Structure 1
């Protein structure tokens, strides 16, 4: 008499967030951070070498009025080191921004809520004055909290951001606007300021590796568990 009762229907499985893979992006970002750190360390070595050699009797490379003297072999090699490390820093910046956008989108899907910072700030947050003092850190912190509710932010985040700000605000490190020849002149006259900024840049790169690893790891939990 129960023939009219059909077989029980399966309860629909909850929707699984379509998370973007982060392991490869995180690995690439950590590798490029390491390369950028090596590049800044190489600059520091050359700053010391320039300071030890002393400024030539002919004066700084930039003689003023658009005149430049012939570079010494050491100054010429610094130009090469500066160009290579600058390229490494550019690749690192691209990799970091790609990773940052990915973990932000994943955090949104995991939490089901809108991020505190619009996607445009993943890119503009680094260059717009004033907001670049806290937006990049805020995007990472927001992504971490959304991916791992209740967990404490990694200590490396504040270390990384503090060192980044030191390098950025020093005016001679991460974002200096002086030409390479002007930096060479500084190495002859004020090398300690350059070295302090170099140290901040290298430290920021190392701390950044730990930040990327920590944030990537919390999102990999979901990708590996399938939930």
Structure 2
């Protein structure tokens, strides 16, 4: 996963606004649907653990279109970042653009690192040849940090809601705290965090897209 493994020759900028618009739409719909799913469980009083397989499958189905669109947008955005800053070395090889979201442990930090590198390399602030420094030393934007922490917290809240079964006691929790209350708290947190993570993801996509849009006048573009 060293930087040199990710180097590719400079490319021409490709249009990204249309892909970004589709990605933003799917992210917003996914966030809203996930929040509604948790809210529905809160209203009915049925915990996700009551139908784990079905509910987990529905949750994955809600997330999948947005996830696929986001990865496709990332692939286009990173290709453009290479064109804007051809001498910048990205920290992760191309295979981690997909595998980074799936591999245990790695999925906790690699996707954020990929977005951090694209963010930095998409801003030609150091001259006409783009970002000239080591991306490992680039400033980590607060917006990306906020999105990633909200995303991890959202998934943690959902996992807590699914794994907590009302009517069972947990030795790690005070007997005064009912498992049903814990499930309700986790579902409420998931609903709120789904909307927050979605809004922040939309902001990340639009900001990087805007950075690359400003570079279109300085680099040749490919049709399509």
TM-score of the two chains, using structure 1 as the length reference: 0.68
Written as runs of structure 1 = structure 2, the 5 A alignment for 1:108-147 is 108-113=82-87, 114-147=89-122
> C-alpha distance in 1, partners of 2:63/2:180?
21
Are the counterparts in 1 of residues 26 and 65 from structure 2 also a CA contact under 8 Å? yes
Give the one of 200, 203, 210 matched to 1:207. Answer: 200
- Which residue does 1:18 correspond to in 2? 12
1:105 corresponds to 2:79: yes
| Maintained 8 Å contact 2:84/2:123 | no
Moved over 4 A (4+): 149-154, 185-189, 224-227
Residue 219 in structure 1 maps to residue 193 in structure 2:
no
Q: What is the aligned partner in structure 2 of residue 163 from structure 1?
A: 150
Structure 1 position 17, deviation (Å): 4.4
Q: Shift of the alpha carbon at 1:192?
A: 1.0
Equivalent position to 1:39, from 4, 24, 33: 33
Give the match for residue 130 of structure 2: none
> 1:129-184 deviations in whole A, cap 9, x for unaligned?
112111111111101111114596653211110111112334527xx876xxx79x
Distance of aligned partners of 1:220 and 1:132 in 2 relative to their CA distance in 1, 3 Å threshold: same
Give the number of equivalent residue pairs: 183
Structure 1: which 5+ runs fail to align?
Answer: 1-15, 63-78
- Structure 2 length normalisation: TM-score? 0.69
Query: What is the CA RMSD across the aligned residues, in angstroms?
Result: 3.3
Give the structure 2 partner of residue 194 of structure 1. Answer: 187
Q: Is the 8 A contact 2:151 2:193 kept in 1?
A: yes
From the superposition, tell whether residues 224 and 24 of structure 1 become closer, same or farther in structure 2 (CA, over 3 Å): farther
The CA distance in 1 between the partners of 2:92 and 2:74, in whole Å, is 12
Quote the residue 1:28 is aligned against: 22
> Cα–Cα, structure 1 residues 119 and 187, in superposed 2: closer, same or farther, change >3 Å?
farther
